[in-house]
């Protein structure tokens, strides 16, 4: 494994820190990162599972009940992150709370809303 591959996460964190110090309003890049996502759905079981942000908006999802893992997507617009699961059955919209934490609200097609949090693992 080469130097760049071994230090990718540190490099991105350093770039973000330099941008913050320079007064830029930016958010960390998600591409290639792994996060632990947790949900608290009213009246249902809470879940915690990993997600990985791949090129082209492909989201790798390790939810224990996901039967269609190849149709999950992500996009980032500044500090806003949008995750879509199961052919847009549910959309998670969130903001960076800090360099390592995303928080937001999920909304499914039936109108159920619930909070979610993701913490960066790498």
Work out how many domains the chain is built from and give that number. Answer: 1
- 12 located within any domain: no
DSSP assignment of the chain equals --HHHHTHHHHHHHHHHHHHHTT-------TT-EEEEEE--TTS--EEEEEEE-GGGBEEE--TT-S-GGG-EEEEETTEEEEEETTTTEEEEEEEEETTEEEEEEEETT--EEEEEEEE--
- The verdict on residue 2 lying in a domain is no
- Asked if residue 8 is part of any domain, the answer here is no
Residue 42 forms part of a structural domain: yes
* Per-residue model confidence as pLDDT tens digits over 44-97: 888 999 999 999 999 999 988 888 878 999 999 999 999 999 999 999 999 999
Q: For 5-53, what is each residue's pLDDT tens digit? A: 565 556 445 544 444 333 334 567 899 999 999 998 888 888 999 999 9
Q: CATH number of the domain at 104, please.
A: 2.40.128.120
Residue 21 lies in a domain: no
Q: Domain limits at 60?
A: 28-120
């Amino acid at each position: 494994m080469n130097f760049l591959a071994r230090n990718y996460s540190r490099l991105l964190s350093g770039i973000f820190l330099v941008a913050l110090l320079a007064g830029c309003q930016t958010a960390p890049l998600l591409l290639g990162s792994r996060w632990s996502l947790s949900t608290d759905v009213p009246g249902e079981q809470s879940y915690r599972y990993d997600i990985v942000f791949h090129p082209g908006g492909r989201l790798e999802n390790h939810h224990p009940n996901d039967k269609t893992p190849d149709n999950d997507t992500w996009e980032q617009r500044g500090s806003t992150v949008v995750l879509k699961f199961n052919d847009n059955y549910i959309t998670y919209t969130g903001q960076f709370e800090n360099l390592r934490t995303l928080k937001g609200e999920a909304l499914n097609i039936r109108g159920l809303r619930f909070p979610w949090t993701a913490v960066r693992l790498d």
